[in-house]
Amino acid sequence: MKNIIAFVLCFISLFGFAQTIKNVDAQTFKKLIDENKSVIIDLRTSSEIEKKGMIKQAIQLDFLSKDAEQAIETLDKNKTYLIYCAGGGRSGDCAELMEKSGFTNVTNLEQGFDDWKAKGFETVKK
């Protein structure tokens, strides 16, 4: 019986049934923002934000800074987070880090801010 339980738990973890990361397109990301129940985090550098703007109500957490992991660890792991970067790479890495750190609800803008902007969604200057 113990072997069966261990097998089921391994199966669930291997195939992502307990997965806390969601990768979504810009339209879905916008809908989640409109629900106003999430913390929006921009993972880009200050110079990227200054050049292209950012999503309204987002807070910056530069994922390339030396203290990014420490800053992430200070966040409330039970809140819902919407994260994005320029093209989806950094935010994908950040989502994995957050999941490993025990965050329970993280949504990644899969194609990043560049896709958000290309779709014509609202941006603001910092």
Question: What are the C-alpha distances in Å from 39 to residues 2, 4, 96?
Answer: 40, 39, 17
Class of domain 19-118: alpha beta
* 107-125 pLDDT, tens digit each: 999 999 999 999 999 999 9
Choose between 95 and 5: higher pLDDT.
95
How does DSSP classify residue 105? E
What pLDDT does residue 18 have?
A: 52
Q: pLDDT, tens digit, for every residue of 57-106?
A: 999 999 999 999 999 999 999 999 999 999 999 999 999 999 999 999 99
State the Cα–Cα distance between residues 89 and 110, nearest whole angstrom.
8
* Domains of the chain, residue spans: 19-118
- Asked if 96 and 72 touch (Cβ cutoff 8 Å), the reply is no
Q: Is 13 a residue whose pLDDT tops 60?
A: no
The answer to whether 38 and 80 are in contact (CB under 8 A) is yes
- Collapse the DSSP code of 126 into the 3-class scheme (helix H, G, I; strand E, B; otherwise coil) and give the result: coil
Which tokens is 10 given?
């391994």
Q: Report the DSSP beta bridge partners of residue 83.
A: 41, 108
> Which amino acid, residue 9?
L
